[in-house]
Amino acid sequence: MTTFTVNEALERIESRGADPVWISRFPRAEVLARAQGVAAGAPLAGRCFAVKDNIDLEGLPTTAGCPDYAYSPVCSAPVVQRLLDAGAVALGKTNLDQFATGLVGVRSPYGVPANPYGSAFIPGGSSSGSAVAVAAGLCDFALGTDTAGSGRVPAAFNNLVGLKPTRGLLSTRGVVPACRTLDCVSIFSRTVAVSARVLAVAANFDPEDPYSRCAAPPLVDEAWPPRVGVPRCDQLEFFGDSAAAGLFAAAKDRWRSLGARIVEVDFAPFLAAARLLYDGPWVAERYAAIREFIERKPGALHPVTRKIIESARTLTATGTFEAAYKLAALRRQSEAVWTEVDVLLTPTAGTIYTVAEVEADPIRLNSNLGYYTNYLNLLDLCAIAVPAGFLPNRMPWGVTLVAPAFCDDRVLRLGARFLGEAAPVRALPAPGPMTQLAVCGAHLSGLPLNWQLIQLGATLVRATRTASSYRLYALPGTTPPKPGLVRASAGGEPIAVEVWEIPLAGYGRFVAGIPGPLGIGSIELEDGSWVQGFLCEGLAVQGALEVTAFGGWRAWLGRRQG
């Protein structure tokens, strides 16, 4: 890794002067030294990142947005250490709503990180500094946390991708708890591709974290086109923002244009679960997380934060069990939705507020921002927030894609599709036994049928060539255009192919859908190994245009289009 990217990040940071985005940063010389020590081939080499200041990063204090609470961690949180080990370079610790309590980004004694799109508007919280650091181009990605929406609301307000993984995929050891049973580490980035790569590195079972979970993705994921669920019209809430309602309608139209089927669902169980987060006993978890500190130094807390957390003193054990029973019933009701849809599409937040509006009415407006977010962790779901346009006040607005636990790759793929990005790398380990398949035509990366491999959970193993005994033809009348690969007794050449690894659970269904004259057979690669791959019947290429001399289908398409 060169220090150019790091130098550029440091220059941008330093040019801003005193900046409430940061609570603490590493000295320039230390950052450059770490960058110079990164191996060029490391998975995240060349990536700078920031860490929300309720997550331990060795060498800098952890404050959780409260100076009197600060302590010096003896080591980095495991999720941070995995990123460092993968070559990412940490720049510093970012500001937050104190003790990760809030969706607004203004509840901090360290100041309010300025929203890059309009400083009069809130940056969103609680992961305010992390989101602004990415949006302002100060780092490639940032870690936040997400208990009630803190990894998604700031993404919407800063025109970012905000990934809230399945609970337990990323270790929360070394994270100051908000609600320990619900907390997630979240990822902010400017593209789905970066979030997927970070998740692929960061996800890991941590036996020392009692809430860590092994990844358990579905054996076979959704077919294309997806069934996209949306709340009934009478259950949507934009808090008087008609422009936001228009952007949500446009997001639905975008999915329709992509071929998705829009399905209205009953959003009531999700809304009822959302109300439990702050109206129920989970507030007591916030109290339990800092009980000793708040009882010893109650005046050290931000007034709004203190008011919210101290409300837990009136809660009872009986009420806790009653809420747990209600949540179990709501979870069962909500499960019916996943038999009807593959993904749920909602606004990330109904609207955005100014700093002045939030300071005048801090609790009600914060509650409004959680309308579409507070239920996620209670119902054990994963989600990705993605940009969906701009309001007339020039502020960003976004939507969220939601799916069941461990369907993280599904929301990543669909988020990329919505934004027009290429399919991201698979972030979670593929389920079950695998087989390899060589593709030479429309299933190559970036070509029209590649999505069929991605939806099965396939991963690209390598790009290579066949042995020098194959001929390639452009099959007439195929949509999208497809080649025919034929083993030849003479006149053959090496042909470019990609080898993909596919879960066996979906392989039979994939093969059954291959139209003639194509089929699957054994293909010899240039290294002498053999794999299954696409071949064509010899009779079908009689009279077809031979494109063997181009060395591969992609090269032929490029020459034809040029």
Alpha-carbon distance 136 to 161, whole Å? 14
Q: Are 502 and 453 in contact (CB under 8 A)?
A: yes
561 CB burial (10 A radius; 0-12, 13-18, 19+): exposed
Alpha-carbon distance 103 to 397, whole Å? 15
Q: Are 127 and 188 in contact (CB under 8 A)?
A: yes
* Residue the block writes with tokens 């809230």: 164
Residue 150 among the catalytic residues: yes
In 3D space, the residue among 466, 470, 475, 473 whose CA is nearest the CA of residue 491 turns out to be 470
The order of strands in the sheet holding 459-465 is 459-465, 496-503, 434-439, 530-536, 518-524
Q: Are 173 and 54 in contact (CB under 8 A)?
A: no
C-alpha 192: how far from chain center: 6
Catalytic-labelled residue, pool 52, 93, 164, 482: 52
Cα distances (Å, whole numbers) of residue 235 to 230, 267, 376, 513, 546: 10, 7, 17, 39, 58
Catalytic-labelled residue, pool 150, 189, 195, 212: 150
Q: Are 419 and 386 in contact (CB under 8 A)?
A: yes
Half-sphere exposure of 24 (CA within 13 A, CB side): 19
Alpha-carbon distance 508 to 529, whole Å? 23
Residue 126 among the catalytic residues: yes
Catalytic-labelled residue, pool 76, 108, 126, 130: 126
Residue 529 among the catalytic residues: no
Which residue numbers are catalytic?
52, 126, 150
